[in-house]
Amino acid sequence: MGVQHHKMFIGGEWRDAADAYEIRNPANEELVATVAKGGADDVDAAVAAARAAFRSGCWSGLTGDERRAVMLRIAEGVSENLEELIELEIAANGATVRQAGGFHIGLAAPHMTYFAELAAKHEVERGIATAPYPTISHNILRREPIGVCAGILPWNFPLVLSLWKIGPALAAGNTVVIKTDEKTPLSTLAFARIAHEAGLPAGVLNVITGDGEDVGARLASHPDVGKVAFTGSTAVGREIMRLASQTVKKVSLELGGKGAAVVLDDADLETVADAALFGCCLYSGQMCESITRLIVPDSIHDELVARIVARAATIKLGDPADYDTDLGPVISAEQHERILSYLQIGRDEGATVATGGGVPEGPGFEKGFWVQPTVFTDVTNDMRIAREEIFGPVLTVIRYSGDPAEGVAIANDSIYGLSAAVWSGDYERALEVAAKLEAGTVWVNDVHMVTPELPFGGYKQSGLGRELGPDALNEYSEVKHIHVDLSQRREARAYDMVLSDG
């Protein structure tokens, strides 16, 4: 069987382009597929299809219960195609089969189901009591769909993060244009097929592929797009804001992070050692909410580091399709070089490599983009490895005296505020620390726990707005106030404040 070519999905049909991308497996660099490389004209076609579908009322005109029924069929289709989606995800982004099954793909159907249920619960209209002065009136607040909503995706969790945009947008009655990352479009394109087969009307969901500088920029600035949601780096998020400001559209951004875990002196060290590695090494650290700064009291520092180093030695790197593999490759040669450059920066800054620090050797690692799980000690919070997002399996361990206030100050000394954690055997102490950490999500004695029922997003330069949670649809709707005068008589109205009888 030859290499399959994938087209874009626009207006309910598959659309090709004159140019194409190559999708290569990051574990062995073998060619997996080719994908249409779209341009600004394809963006215009997708937005036009979405706008026409919205105005037709084929989706926006349905009740919440009717949208729920279609979305539940889509979620069922995702479950039925789980193996295909896992294979596509592993081949494109290097996730291990366990990670893909548990996170990258395994979360997709439950998250879509959650948004489907929100569609039925969404309060579209409610009356608001007001004072009878200056006139007696009835007032209504309506939440109405925005229209065409755009989602611009990263490469690390392409399917789940697309559903964080698609799900609430559809539930609120909008139509959607998704721009996938050029490295990992396969699972999102497959989702478009699944949604179409489940009965989603043509034009309601459109998926385009292309370069960010061309396709992403056109989508973010397009005058007929009313909302743009972006997940990715803080630098690109700033550019998305600039482009969106040209037409003053709604924007939500989920950006970078440099998650800090404050370990208190009464924490269970065996558990913290496991959690620290899980926090920084899940999907080779290529997660915005990874915990990459471990802030440790002097009194337990040496013992905890020794436990982390010993545990890191048990992590198995290898073929992502092997169920026994713990850690796969990083996504690309570019990312590989970036991470290795930071490992050298850490050494140059005076940090100590406690374990890892390079590329694994031996059979299976001759090709592909591999990085060892790496732990730096002797790190201070002013070092670049402690301040900048590396996006790799790299943990920086920072000492502090043991005073929780000092640990909090170190954790908060960052431009980022996406995630944080506290580890302690005393929940009262842990909650006191958690309340002072500047982050959108703070875990107590846990990491990486993101569920659709709870909002997710960042403080500071980690983003704007929130995804997930019971209010997720608010990001994809406009609030309209309708005022109905009930006075019935001219003399009972407030006109005489401006107009006299004379």
For the CA atoms of 99, 105, 108, 110, the dihedral, rounded to the nearest 10 degrees, stands at: -60
d(CA 386, CA 249): 35
d(CA 209, CA 170): 20
pTM of the model: 0.95
Active-site choice (87, 182, 254, 475) = 254
d(CA 90, CA 25): 8
Which pair of structure tokens corresponds to residue 347? 């050494």
Which pair of structure tokens corresponds to residue 172? 């609120």
**Residues 171, 111, 415, CA angle at the centre, nearest 5°?**
95
Domains 4-124+145-255+462-481 and 259-444 fall in the same CATH topology:
no
- The answer to whether the CB of 164 falls within 8 A of the CB of 102 is no
- The answer to whether the CB of 230 falls within 8 A of the CB of 253 is yes
Residue ranges in 246-391 assigned as alpha helix (H): 269-281, 298-312, 333-349, 384-387
d(CA 218, CA 228): 11
Checking DSSP bridges between strand 31-37 and strand 4-6, what pairing results, if any?
parallel
Q: Going residue by residue through the chain, which has 502 residues, state the pLDDT in tens, using 9 for 90 and above.
A: 578 999 999 999 999 999 999 999 999 999 999 999 999 999 999 999 999 999 999 999 999 999 999 999 999 999 999 999 999 999 999 999 999 999 999 999 999 999 999 999 999 999 998 888 778 899 999 999 999 999 999 999 999 999 999 999 999 999 999 999 999 999 999 999 999 999 999 999 999 999 999 999 999 999 999 999 999 999 999 999 999 999 999 999 999 999 999 999 999 999 999 999 999 999 999 999 999 999 999 999 999 999 999 999 999 999 999 999 999 999 999 999 999 999 999 999 999 999 999 999 999 999 999 999 999 999 999 999 999 999 999 999 999 999 999 999 999 999 999 999 999 999 999 999 999 999 999 999 999 999 999 999 999 999 999 999 999 999 999 999 999 989 877 776 666 666 666 5
Strand segments (E) across 389-456: 394-400, 416-417, 419-423, 441-444
Residue 133: the pLDDT is: 78
How is domain 259-444 classified at the CATH fold level? Aldehyde Dehydrogenase; Chain A, domain 2 (3.40.309)
d(CA 229, CA 151): 5
Which pair of structure tokens corresponds to residue 393? 């399996």
- The answer to whether the CB of 38 falls within 8 A of the CB of 14 is no
Which pair of structure tokens corresponds to residue 186? 């396969």
CA 195 to chain centre: 21
H helix or E strand, kind and range, residue 460: strand 459-460
CATH number of 4-124+145-255+462-481: 3.40.605.10
* Helices vs strands, H then E, count in the chain: 15, 23
Residue 492: the pLDDT is: 63
Q: Which residues contact 179 (CB under 8 A, 6 or more apart)?
A: 43, 150, 151, 152, 153, 208, 209, 210, 212, 215, 216, 219
Residue 488: the pLDDT is: 79
Taking residue 448's Cβ as centre, other Cβ atoms within 10 Å add up to 19
Active-site choice (149, 280, 281, 288) = 288
Which pair of structure tokens corresponds to residue 249? 């559209």
- The answer to whether the CB of 255 falls within 8 A of the CB of 233 is yes
H helix or E strand, kind and range, residue 374: strand 374-379
Residue 494: the pLDDT is: 64
By C-alpha distance, which of 446, 387, 398 is closest to 420? 446
| Domain coordinates in residue numbering, the chain | 4-124+145-255+462-481, 259-444
Which pair of structure tokens corresponds to residue 62? 């349905």
CA 186 to chain centre: 17
Q: Check residue 203 and give left, alpha or beta (phi > 0: left; psi -120 to 50: alpha).
A: left
Rounded to 10°, the helix 186-197/64-80 angle is 120
Total residues belonging to the chain: 502
254 is catalytic: yes
One-letter amino acid for residue 421 of the chain: A
